[in-house]
Amino acid sequence: MIAIFLKTLPFFALIAVGYWAGRTRFFTAEATAYLTKFIFYFALSAMLFRFSANLSFADVWNTRLVVAYLWGTAFVYGLATLVCYMRGVSMQITAIEAQCAVIGNVGFLGVPMLTLLLGAEAIGPVMTALAIDLIVFSSLIVILITGSRDGQLSWAVLRPVGLGLLKNPMIVAITLGLLWSGLKIPIPVPLNEFLDLLGAAATPGALFAIGASLALKSAERLSVAGWLSFCKLVLHPLFVGFACFILFKVDPYQAMVITSAAALPVAGNVYMLAQHYGIAPQRASAAILVSTALSIVTLSLCIAWLTAP
């Protein structure tokens, strides 16, 4: 546990530096927004393309792994939805809370941290989790919110969903990288060095941006934030691990990696969606803040338990 904690500590220390910079206004909200845009569209995309271009489709697609992750995630999503129903919460707020319960910071935090802690082979399962989160659950929240506003679900809902996926640089980078790999085109040395140089900015930049953005968020409705953090940090990895290790007998290494990915704190893009639709942004903000703070301990515990001999 101590060894894992010491390895994760530099990552959270970078987040803390970003938080300090944002809290003291040394790094303004505008600067944070531009840094996040640079990481999202350039550095992280370069990293993901380079990783995926050196993978085969089989490295990313494992049917047992995909089904297990979907099963565990859907179970916790359904549980969070049921609790919202029992509390009499509207469908739109339910969609935001359920998203907080299962969508982790895989892109900005999981990709760099888990590949360092668990080895380069971890990138395949991590990208599987990232792709499922983006394609399945990020689409689901748009469908639920749009459908509840219109009073019915229609095929017109799929248009913004499809456009959102086509415009998402992480999806584009992974897809292009896998196509490049599938065509067996060698990456020219100058291009590989360019991607390596640009992608190297993703890890420190993303962690700093997470911290700076957290400084702009407020912690309201702490009881709800505590419940959603419990769902994300405890229940999500618990049920994903149960599905991987017990129900679907996934390869132990891949099961360990994707269970660790499930233990990541709530992703910042949930807040972006909540703010975009004007639905409980403070609730999402609090869940991100609380889960990120608690994950300093819970994530280390989860990885230490999974990697124990």
Residue 242 lies in a domain: yes
Q: How many domains does the chain have?
A: 1
Q: Does pLDDT of 296 surpass 70?
A: yes
Residue 14 lies in a domain: no
Q: For position 275, what pLDDT does the model report?
A: 85
pLDDT in tens, 115-168: 989 998 999 999 999 999 999 998 888 888 887 766 555 666 667 777 777 788
Residue (of 273, 41, 23) closest to 138 by Cα position: 273
DSSP code, position 55:
S
Residue 29 lies in a domain: no
Mean pLDDT value across residues 78-94: 95
What percent of the chain stands above pLDDT 90?
68
Domain of 117, in residue numbers: 38-189+220-307
CA dist., res. 236 & res. 234, Å (int): 6
Residue 73 lies in a domain: yes
CA 37 to chain CA centroid, nearest Å: 16
Give the residue ranges of DSSP H helices in 151-280: 158-167, 169-182, 189-199, 202-214, 222-230, 236-242, 252-262, 268-277
Residue 146 lies in a domain: yes
Residues 6+ apart with CB under 8 A from 49: 173, 174, 176, 177, 180, 195
Q: For position 276, what pLDDT does the model report?
A: 80
What percent of the chain stands above pLDDT 70?
95
pLDDT in tens, 182-212: 888 888 999 999 999 999 999 999 999 999 9
With H, G, I as helix, E, B as strand and everything else as coil, classify residue 124: helix
Residue that has been written with the tokens 């040394």 in this structure? 26
Burial 238-259 (b: 16+ CB within 10 A, else e): bbbbbbbbeebebeeebbbbbb
Q: For position 219, what pLDDT does the model report?
A: 66
pLDDT in tens, 235-258: 999 999 999 999 999 999 999 999
Q: For position 240, what pLDDT does the model report?
A: 98
Q: For position 165, what pLDDT does the model report?
A: 75
Q: For position 22, what pLDDT does the model report?
A: 95
Directed axis angle between helix 281-307 and helix 2-23, to 10°? Answer: 160
Q: For position 30, what pLDDT does the model report?
A: 94
Q: Does pLDDT of 36 surpass 70?
A: yes
Residue 33 lies in a domain: no
Report phi then psi at 266, rounded to 5. Answer: -60, 140
Mean pLDDT value across residues 279-293: 91
Residue 17 lies in a domain: no
Q: For position 158, what pLDDT does the model report?
A: 67
Residue 236 lies in a domain: yes
Residue that has been written with the tokens 């409980």 in this structure? 280
